[in-house]
């Protein structure tokens, strides 16, 4: 716990030291903001998303957790509300249904929030190797890992730069920097996330917005069981991390 506290203090110090550099090209006529800041986390009902939500809830942030399993989302939100001074909201939806994305803004408007931090954490992997997989399965992985992430970024990043404040955090993977036979689509989508994140970070430099990516290795979540990946080679080459550690 002491190590974690020290790490957070160092991160806060670095943030203050780099604040001027990040905001050096901001216009003088930034708009007044009359809504409260909120953290939007996709895939927030379990794994790394839920672990990150726990950290932010302890710090008092307002949160909106999005996922497909409504019961699990409500359970996580209720648990986090007990430890947080902020408001913990949840919204069950299939993000691959892009027509439903307006519901996010409807909820934010009704509650008086804006997305100050966007965590694109939702992600999928394929169960079968490319030659044997059904196209519908591969397409769904592409939709969630690339199109959903890109669509939400396109929806909220321009608003962040307009305010001169915000954070975008994309969930990538060590698989984003290496080929992945038998998980070729998943690894390739994470390569997109890495490249996309680095490109955007350069585009918004100096506009008050922080953009980063998490390149996690094997983590103890339900992800590997969903894709029958518990016997994959990387499980024997790398150690599993706990979500809270990531």
Per-residue pLDDT of the chain (246 residues; tens, 9 = 90+): 566 667 667 766 776 666 666 666 666 667 777 899 999 999 998 888 999 999 999 999 999 999 999 999 999 999 999 999 999 999 999 999 999 999 999 999 999 999 999 999 999 888 788 999 999 999 999 999 999 999 999 999 999 999 999 999 999 988 777 888 888 899 999 999 999 999 999 999 999 999 999 888 665 655 545 545 555 555 565 556 675 666
Sequence-distant (≥ 6) Cβ neighbours of residue 219 within 8 angstroms: 47, 48, 240, 241, 242, 243, 246
How far apart (Å, rounded) are the C-alpha atoms in residues 68 and 101? 13
Nearest to 47 by CA among 175, 238, 192, 214: 214
Q: Which of 186, 210, 234, 236 is catalytic?
A: 186
Q: What is the pLDDT of residue 224?
A: 47
Please write the tens of the pLDDT for every residue from 83-116: 999 999 999 999 999 999 999 999 999 999 999 9
Catalytic site includes residue 240: no
| pLDDT of res. 28 | 65
- Least Cα distance to 226 among 189, 192, 183 occurs for 183
């Amino acid at each position: 716990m002491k190590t974690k506290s020290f790490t957070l203090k160092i991160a806060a110090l670095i943030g203050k030291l780099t604040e001027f550099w990040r905001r050096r090209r901001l216009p003088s006529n930034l708009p007044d903001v009359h809504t409260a800041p909120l953290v939007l986390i996709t895939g927030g009902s379990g794994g790394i998303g839920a672990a990150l939500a726990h950290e932010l809830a302890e710090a008092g942030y307002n949160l909106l957790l999005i996922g497909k399993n409504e019961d699990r989302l409500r359970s996580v939100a209720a648990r986090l509300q007990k430890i947080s001074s902020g408001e913990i909201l949840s919204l069950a939806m299939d993000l691959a249904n892009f027509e439903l994305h307006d519901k996010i803004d409807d909820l934010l408007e009704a509650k008086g929030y804006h997305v100050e931090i966007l965590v694109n954490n939702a992600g999928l992997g394929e169960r079968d190797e490319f030659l044997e997989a059904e196209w519908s399965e591969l397409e769904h992985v592409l939709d969630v890992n690339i199109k959903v992430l890109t669509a939400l970024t396109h929806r909220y990043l321009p608003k962040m730069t307009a305010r001169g404040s915000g954070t975008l955090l994309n969930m990538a993977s060590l698989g984003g920097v290496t080929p992945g036979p038998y998980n070729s689509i998943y690894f390739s989508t994470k390569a997109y996330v890495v490249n996309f994140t680095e490109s955007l970070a350069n585009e918004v430099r100096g506009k008050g917005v922080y953009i980063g990516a998490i390149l996690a290795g094997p983590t103890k979540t339900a992800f590997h069981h969903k894709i029958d990946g518990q016997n994959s080679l990387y499980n024997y080459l790398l150690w599993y991390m706990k979500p809270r550690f990531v």
